[in-house]
Structure 1
Amino acid sequence: MTAVEEENGPSGHHIELVDDNPPPRRSGEPSPGLRDSKGWDGKLRVPKSALLTNPEALSDSDYSDEDNVIPGEELAADEDLLDGEPLDVDEIVCTHSKIKDIPALRLERFTELARLCLRQNLIQDIEGLSALANSLKELDLYDNLISHIRGLDDLTNLTSLDLSFNKIRHIKHINHLKNLTDLYLVANKISNIEGLDGLTKLRQLELGSNRIRELKNLDSLISLEELWVAKNKITELRGLSGLPNLRLLSIQSNRIRDLSPLRELPQLEELYISHNALETLTGLEHNSRLRVLEVSNNRITSLAGLGPLVALEEFWASYNQISDFVEVEKELGDKKNLTTVYFEGNPLQLRSPALYRNKVRLALPQVQQIDATFVRMS
């Protein structure tokens, strides 16, 4: 049942605080502010009921034991698996079918195939796809047993490639895919960003849950709009100056301390940087286009530095060390587009939880949501 609190706000307006009381987020989960469920570390793209080929990848981003992969039950060669599909089909989705051998599917029959999804199988090698070169645009091999990127030489019409949740160590043999707009390499064993030269049409790159320590070799990605690198070992926000169209950066669960390198990204609109080592928000002065800022689970004590962020719509700052309501009003009170703030788990909420939301509402009368509470004016 929804709980409702009532309070008289500024100018005599009647305020209702409606608490939908959702369960608290677990540590490491993406913020509700994330726009794309394909982000963070890719887990949200797997149905909860799915049985993963690589289950250890969900709990250990450094998993590396080649002998500890659950092999599952291998079926005989499946020449008849797709016999029910019309030959002019443009999409084939075949998941959880324990497929190991792509050539055995005889895909060359399907001359108009544009999208092929073979998620959660036992595929070790990318092969047998050259006959689809003229038509294939989307290839999804999420959650298989692939160690090396090979077999893509002829697939130059690909626009989307998903090799997430495999066992890939090196990004190779894809920079000839000049039409790629979306590339997903989440939850592999990648240590270095490399092999992306010339992918000038790429708009979205997902590298979450790998072993990356440095942002580099990205300068040629001039069309990149979204970069997802959460859950790595990145210590600095450098190497991004060559991305003139980057509007979304998700770099949660890394080791970032300094925001000042973001001055090289004045066009940035969404920044997700929770679970890092931030102690201050200074350094965002040149990012005046930011609409969404997620800094939860850091060590931030002050909101100083938010002044220039005139376009701010959502500010997520749960579980920091923010304690001053006066500063909340000073730094955020003039943000006319601000609709959502999260301060749960901060001293200003923990000191007086019964009064906390009303104090925030009086300091920020323009907001429509405080944590999980929606505010109504009447």
Structure 2
Amino acid sequence: MPAPVEEGNRSPGHHIELVDDDATLRNDGQPSPGLRDSKGWDGKLRVPKNTLLANPEALSDPEYSDDENVMAGGELAADEDLLDDEPLDTDEIICTHSRISSIPALRLERFKQVARICLRQNLLQDIEGLESLSSTLTELDLYDNLIGHVRGLDSLVHLTSLDLSFNKIKHIKHISHLKNLTDLFFVANKISKIENLDGLDKLKNLELGSNRIRELQNLDNLPALEELWVAKNKITELTGLGNLTHLRLLSIQSNRIRDLSPLKDVPQLEELYISHNALESLEGLESNTKLRVLDISNNQVSSLKGLGPLVELEELWASYNRIADFNEVERELKDKKELTTVYFEGNPLQLRAPALYRNKVKLALPQIKQIDATFVRAP
């Protein structure tokens, strides 16, 4: 049985939640993941442990394509009576694991007040049959289906949230007219280029993790963007962010970044997640004095030089690097009064003397409240 829908900030009123108890297996015989909010998803690093996806190859192999195994949409038609017993004044329709292959078959035109639709983990290949809801629909979630093209959204101009994650989309198209969008999710598709986002002046959160993107580009016309999630791509440089004057969070784990200096163009950045890259140095971060959270885990960093000016730092995640000098830890971090959490496990300074490691960190950084996964006991 899938996990329950997360409530979030839903408006009051009726809503429908239909989950097929017998639909734990998809048409290909593979189990689908439980329903969860996609907020904060960033590709492989944010998939919960022990979660099995309908198309797991989408995470393990960036070149994966199983187009030859896709069943024809008409072979498993949606039950036309699926929503017949539901109140016509519902404001929310949720049908997951229901083997739906056709949106028109749901006859959604009956419902005049629907603001949110969630059809996760079904068999949809096309976005269609939503025109009748154009005046009320604000959230559309089609996560984990078989959609290959972004079409059928022409009339949905009131959408604020669109989730097309875990589908088979190769190109971002036909969404620039959705000028009320604040949240856009394309996690785990086959996208190789960031494009066609002009006009999304209200977009605050863009998630493109687990795709085939090589370059941060065409982001200049997103003046309101606050969060950019692009983990597990093939990005080599941090360029292309200069006009994002409101960007406060950048998640770019599992890419190929070596140089941090382009981040001087986004001095307002507050959170940077850049684990699993090719970093050898933290030099280039000196201008990012607003950083509160910095994750550089699983790189080749041997020195903390570059962190000196980051006076507002609260959390430093630096596990599995090459940091060896406690004196440098003290020199670079002791003056950070807001710093409460550090992760240094897997570094030489922890591996050489694990029994003394925690005490040495506490002596060097008396303000710390958490070392790795363990809280520091109060004296």
Name the residue aligned to 1:40.
42
**Residue pairs, 1:105-120, within 5 angstroms:** 105-120=106-121
Contact preservation (8 Å) 1:185, 1:206: yes
Give how far 1:290 is off: 0.1
Cα distance in structure 2, aligned partners of 1:46 and 1:113 = 30
Cα distance in structure 2, aligned partners of 1:71 and 1:360 = 59
Is 1:222 the counterpart of 2:223? The answer is: yes
The CA deviation string for residues 290-333 of structure 1, in whole angstroms up to 9 with x for no partner, is 00000000000000000000000000000000000000000000
Residues 195, 252 of structure 1: CA spacing in aligned structure 2 closer, same or farther, 3 A cutoff? Answer: same
Contact preservation (8 Å) 1:62, 1:210: no
CA RMSD after TM alignment = 1.8
Give how far 1:45 is off: 6.5
Which segments of 5 or more consecutive residues in structure 2 lack a partner in the other structure?
1-37
After TM superposition, the score normalised by the length of structure 1 is 0.87
Residues 220, 120 of structure 1: CA spacing in aligned structure 2 closer, same or farther, 3 A cutoff? Answer: same
Give how far 1:173 is off: 0.1
Contact preservation (8 Å) 1:52, 1:120: no
Contact preservation (8 Å) 2:44, 2:59: no
Structure 2 counterpart of 1:234, one-letter code: I
- SS of the residue corresponding to residue 327 of structure 2 reads helix
Name the residue aligned to 1:82.
83
Structure 2 counterpart of 1:91, one-letter code: E
Give how far 1:281 is off: 0.2
Cα distance in structure 2, aligned partners of 1:140 and 1:267 = 31
Structure 2 counterpart of 1:39, one-letter code: W
Cα distance in structure 2, aligned partners of 1:87 and 1:371 = 52
Cα distance in structure 1, aligned partners of 2:224 and 2:110 = 35
Cα distance in structure 1, aligned partners of 2:49 and 2:343 = 28
Structure 1 counterpart of 2:243, one-letter code: G
Name the residue aligned to 1:334.
335
Cα distance in structure 2, aligned partners of 1:77 and 1:245 = 43
**Residue pairs, 1:229-378, within 5 angstroms:** 229-378=230-379
Give how far 1:69 is off: 4.4
Cα distance in structure 1, aligned partners of 2:129 and 2:236 = 40
Name the residue aligned to 1:173.
174
Percent identity over the alignment is 74
The CA deviation string for residues 15-48 of structure 1, in whole angstroms up to 9 with x for no partner, is xxxxxxxxxxxxxxxxxxxxx9623217747795
Cα distance in structure 1, aligned partners of 2:346 and 2:260 = 23
Name the residue aligned to 1:59.
60
Give how far 1:156 is off: 0.1
Name the residue aligned to 2:11.
none
Give how far 1:63 is off: 1.0
- SS of the residue corresponding to residue 290 of structure 1 reads coil
Name the residue aligned to 1:7.
none
Contact preservation (8 Å) 2:73, 2:125: no
Cα distance in structure 2, aligned partners of 1:108 and 1:53 = 30
Contact preservation (8 Å) 1:54, 1:69: no
Contact preservation (8 Å) 1:43, 1:58: no
Which segments of 5 or more consecutive residues in structure 1 lack a partner in the other structure?
1-35
Contact preservation (8 Å) 1:101, 1:123: yes
Once the two structures are overlaid, the 10-residue window that deviates more, 64-73 or 234-243, is: 64-73
After TM superposition, the score normalised by the length of structure 2 is 0.87
Moved over 4 A (4+): 42-49, 69-74
> How many pairs align?
342
